[in-house]
Structure 1
Amino acid sequence: MTDGPSEPSAHDVAATATAPVRAALDSVDQFRVQHYGLLAVLMAREPSAETLALVAGLSGDATPLGRSHAALADAARRADPARLEREYFDLFIGVGRGELVPYGSYYLTGFLREKPLARLRQDLARLGIERSRSLVELEDHVGVLCETMAGLIDGRFEAPEGAARDFFARHMQPWMGRFFADLETARSADFYRCVGRVGRSFMTIETESQALVA
């Protein structure tokens, strides 16, 4: 998880790559990397005006995910960055804690820094993915996990065949769909309600795809 610039790109949140990005990805993996990167950026912090302008360019179609793209693009066009800063704070930080706690360990056990985080750290160490000195979040933060998945898929992290599939099954599938569903209905969510919809729809696709491969 290397140091990145102050404004995160789709690949700044997560980790130390030990291999170059693969020269070419098939269309399915490009689709996956783009969505994991989008979720990583939007969950890392409140979006800047520049990020909102990019999100506003998303196009939709008649599928559930496509409709969620259209709703998110519309929300980005209407969003006020100053209000989004407060929305992000209320949802994920709060005074004491936010409305939602975006960490795998909390979703799986009700507490931070429990066994799911320890297992994640062991798996990251086996994959040679190191925590960035500038990373303030725990490794099981939803944005960090999405960024790590993007790196496993696109080859920035040197990993054995099937590593991304195993990583998803162990550290994301058990809880992340539920998190995004909760975000979609959170009281404090406006723009992030649409982020939750995209995340939930995408996690459903990923879970179904993993089941077909298995």
Structure 2
Amino acid sequence: MRESGLDTAIQAAGGVSALARRIGVSQPAISGWKRIPPDRVLAVEAATGIPRTLLRPDLYREAAPQPRPDLDEVSAARADIYALLAALLWRAPDAALLGQLAATPDPAGAGDLAAARAALARAAAATTAEAAAREHFDLLIGVGGGELFPYASYYLTGFLHERPLAELRADLHRLGLVRAEGLAEPEDHIAFVCEVMATLIHGGAGTPEIDDAVFFARHLRPWARAAFRDMERCEAATFYRAVGTLGRVVMEIETAAFELPQ
């Protein structure tokens, strides 16, 4: 008997054959599944728009960081943007999230961040959940790999699972943070790193030696701007071009802010 997450994915895709085509596996392989294999969860999520927390709730749990009661408005806004970037990079937005983004009021001001947020709202209004899911799959997952390789190790060394990942894991251990059991992606995936930044800003983790400024300097500043810039330039990107612009602008603002005298 199939688990409910697999049944939901099959229904969303339009049948076993349709799901098989979308994720690049054979129909008999899917017919033999009782549940979605851990190494296929992200591909199924991208192909169907069904969140991984529904596809495999035993592997993925919702864990929104709880804000500190004394969190100031600027810090709260920073944390929210990092959380949004993480959500959009982990999985394609569903229709509800696209609607929320499209309905976002025009931000105050005339700076790069306001322009990037407005562009994201327009892009959300101009796409559909299905189109965004296809973009996400083509860019970040693909059959045998997406157009982008959004990992610190790849951007800094040209290879996966290299020293930047080991250094990140060491800092995550110091912070008491671990990835969800069964997560196929290494921790230096850009979505994971953005999620950690949101957690640090919210106050859900941190040590005297590793706060959000230190974590940013070590694990985002050296490479994330380039990754977001590449997303802006991807031929497969339409909605995700706006995501790339927002991410690049955030990296530039954060870099400049952390360089100011404290």
What TM-score comes out, normalization by structure 1 length?
0.88
Using the TM superposition, give the Cα deviation of residue 130 of structure 1 relative to its aligned residue in structure 2, in angstroms: 1.6
Q: CA deviation at 1:63?
A: 0.9
Distance in 1, matches of 2:209 and 2:149, equals 32
2:242 to 187, 194, 201: 194
- Which structure has more relative contact order (CA 8 Å, sep 6+)? It is 1
The letter of the residue matching 2:194 is C
Backbone CA RMSD of aligned residues: 2.2
Deviation at 1:33, TM superposition (A): 0.4
Q: Say which is worse superposed, 127-136 or 44-53, in terms of deviation.
A: 127-136
| Selected match of 1:95 from 143, 147, 167 | 143
TM-superposed CA distance for 1:162, in Å, is 5.3
> What is the CA-CA distance between 1:14 and the residue it aligns to?
9.1
1:45 aligned to 61, 79, 91, which one?
91
Whole-angstrom distance in 2 between the partners of 1:161 and 1:28 = 22
Kept after mapping to 1: 8 A contact 2:53/2:61 = no
Map 1:126-165 → 2, pairs under 5 A: 126-160=174-208, 163-165=211-213
| Superposed displacement of residue 148, structure 1 | 0.3
Q: How many corresponding residue pairs?
A: 205
Cα-to-partner distance string for 1:105-150 (whole Å, 9 max, x where unaligned): 1111111100100010011001111221143321111111001001
Q: Which aligned runs of 4 or more in structure 1 are off by greater than 6 angstroms?
A: 12-17
Amino acid corresponding to residue 44 of structure 1 in structure 2:
W
Question: Quick check: 1:68 aligned with 2:116?
Answer: yes
Shift of 1:169: 0.3
CA contact (8 A) 2:101 2:121 kept: yes
Q: Secondary structure at the match of 1:170?
A: helix
Unmatched runs of 5 consecutive residues or more in structure 2: 1-51
Q: How does 1:1-16 map to 2 (within 5 A)?
A: 5-6=53-54
- Say whether residues 1:78 and 2:140 are aligned partners: no
Corresponding residue number in structure 1 for 2:73: 27
Distance 1:157 1:166 in 2: 13
**Structure 1 unaligned runs (5+)?**
none
1:129–1:173: structure 2 CA closer, same or farther, 3 Å change rule? same
Distance in 2 separating the partners of 1:116 and 1:14 = 27
CA distance in structure 1 between the aligned counterparts of 2:210 and 2:136, rounded to whole angstroms:
34
* Counterpart AA for 2:78: R
TM-score (norm 2): 0.73
Higher mean Cα deviation, 36-45 or 162-171?
A: 162-171
